[in-house]
Amino acid sequence: MKNTNLINSRKSKGLTQEQLAHIVGCKGRQAVSNWENGYSTPPLAIALKVAEVLEKDVAFLFGHKVQETHTNSA
């Protein structure tokens, strides 16, 4: 399911997928495309950066589907 909140928020800031990916430290636009198309969700640290850049709440952008971490250290 498309993440229209993320898509519209990114576009309202005038950012391309490539630009947003670069700003938040991702290697390419594919990560942003995957988030927008609902194929994956970012790790919490990246989601927080995206929310800060887009000036939106993390829950608004990603709901409650954000990954806590890539791996558990416990």
Fill in the amino acid letter for 59. A
CA R_g for the chain: 11
Question: How far is residue 43 CA from its own chain's centroid?
Answer: 9
Fill in the amino acid letter for 20. L
Give the CATH class of 4-62.
mainly alpha
What pLDDT is stored for residue 68 in this prediction?
62
Cα dihedral: 10, 13, 51, 29 (round 10): 40
Domain boundaries, the chain: 4-62
Can you give the pLDDT of all 74 residues of the chain as single tens digits?
899 999 999 999 999 999 999 999 999 999 999 999 999 999 999 999 999 999 999 999 998 777 665 544 44
- Per the CB < 8 A criterion, the answer to whether 16 and 23 are in contact is no
Residue identified by tokens 């995206």 is: 50
What pLDDT is stored for residue 30 in this prediction?
97
